[in-house]
Amino acid sequence: MKSMKIKNVLSKLVLVSGVILFGAFFKSNSEAQDASLKPSPAAFIQQWQSIRDQLRESAKPFQKPEYGIRFLVRGKNSENVEQLVIDKLPRRIILVIGGLQGDQESSEQFAKSLQQCLNYPLNTRLAIFDYPNDDSISETGGVLRDLLRELQQESPDTKVSIVAHSMGGLVARWALESTVEPEKTLVAGVVDHLTMICPPNYGSALARYADVLEISDALTKMRKGKDSFITILTSLIHDGLGEACVELIPDSEFLRKLNAFERAKGVRYTILAGTRGPISPLVGLASSMAINETRARTRVRDNAEVYKVLDRVKELMTSDELTLGLGDGAVALESARLTGVSEFTTVPIQHAEWASVDLPQTQVLIKKVAASMTGA
């Protein structure tokens, strides 16, 4: 009861801080408009980023990431889960890991559909790795590494197959590849197969739009209507403070470090990359031409900031990530590839469709995952 009261107080404090900061932001922006009557888009964005950073900084003391491995109860229609019990571990665990802004429901839906497709033996169990989906990938990978180490020590005969979507693949890679010998062999010894679905191994251009992803996440939760506003606000803080998006920007320090590691010995890697980007090459070309025309008709003297916005839109619209055949809407094919991994297959699927198990293309994906795991 006491911890619940503390949580409520902290939640309200975060909410009040956010309201004050946003109020100050709109007040200063209003004053700027009154002064010049020509508000600058660049200044507007800069103010918003400053407010965002202040809110994240003030929220850090209240951030309490929750990590854990949960088993799915056997049975096609079961909605229940049970906690990991070390002394009752099966011979094989199939561990499903979601990606950036992914929720537990998506991971469970995919796992249950994979469960039906695999028809696995009694000594195999499916599990979900829950983690703050917007937190530092390296920190999350470190937690997963510790769990795998514990698993190896407690049950040396248990083997793990990891099936990871999007950023989840990088979490798994960090857990398996970032350690040094002899610990690296110890950790990799428990995992013998890593299947990555649409992994951004070399980042994604969309990571530069972290705030849009956060807003989209909040709107999705509000649309579902299961949680109160204060619950949604605190969840956006507890799932991370945007560290993951910084690490997913192409050529980030994190990605350079991760991709300098060697593949984990004894681990079989499989990659399934999506190709159903939402923008066809012709539409992308037409959009680029339209933006160029708009840019040519814009007066530099009065609208220099608009040029920057148009250039960013053009870059996004023509990126491989969004182009049909070259990406899945979030990750480009070339970013999904990984040195040393020969099992690379394309699937006509969009990035977020992995958990929409009723879609025909998702069923194709699930069957390919199952086939790679059974050797069919």
79, 200: one domain: yes
Question: Does residue 369 fall inside a structural domain?
Answer: no
104, 125: one domain: yes
58, 82: one domain: no
Question: Does residue 249 fall inside a structural domain?
Answer: yes
* DSSP secondary structure of 305-362: HHHHHHHHHHHHHTSGGGBBTTBSSSSBHHHH--TT---EEEES--GGGGG-TTSHHH
Q: What is the DSSP letter of 38?
A: S
Question: Does residue 304 fall inside a structural domain?
Answer: yes
At residue 341, the pLDDT reads 97
93, 189: one domain: yes
48, 78: one domain: no
120, 190: one domain: yes
Stronger pLDDT, 61 or 129, i.e. the higher one: 129
Amino acid at 341: V
Question: Does residue 290 fall inside a structural domain?
Answer: yes
β-sheet with 159-165: strand ranges across? 81-83, 68-72, 124-130, 92-97, 159-165, 191-197, 268-274, 344-347
At residue 98, the pLDDT reads 93
Phi then psi for 159, rounded to 5 degrees? -115, 150
Q: Which of 62, 82, 102 is the last residue of a domain?
A: 62
Range of the domain at 312: 281-317
Question: Does residue 166 fall inside a structural domain?
Answer: yes
Q: What is the mean pLDDT of residues 182-199?
A: 84
74, 96: one domain: yes
154, 257: one domain: yes
Q: Which of 20, 43, 62 is the last residue of a domain?
A: 62
Q: What is the CATH number of the domain that holds 191?
A: 3.40.50.1820
Query: What are the pLDDT digits (tens) for 250-309?
Result: 999 999 999 999 999 889 999 999 999 888 888 777 777 776 777 677 665 556 666 676
CA distance 206 to 211: 10
Q: List C-alpha distances in Å: 105 to 40, 65, 171, 356.
A: 41, 18, 19, 11
185, 285: one domain: no
- Give the β-pairing of 159-165 and 124-130: unpaired
Q: Which residues pair with 93 in a beta bridge?
A: 125, 160
Domain count, the chain: 3
- Give the β-pairing of 344-347 and 191-197: unpaired
Confidence of residue 368 (pLDDT cuts 50, 70, 90): very high
CA distance 372 to 376: 7
Cβ neighbour number for residue 64 with a 10 Å cutoff: 11
Phi then psi for 278, rounded to 5 degrees? -75, -10
202, 291: one domain: no
Quick check: 227 pLDDT over 90? no
Quick check: 366 pLDDT over 70? yes
73, 200: one domain: yes
Query: What are the pLDDT digits (tens) for 117-151?
Result: 887 666 788 899 988 876 789 989 999 998 998 88
55, 90: one domain: no
CA distance 24 to 307: 28
* DSSP secondary structure of 55-85: HHHHHGGG-----EEEEEPSSTT---EEE--
**Whether this model's pTM surpasses 0.75:** no
Query: What are the pLDDT digits (tens) for 80-113?
Result: 444 444 446 788 899 999 998 677 788 999 998 9
Q: What percent of the chain lies above the pLDDT cut of 90?
A: 32
At residue 89, the pLDDT reads 73
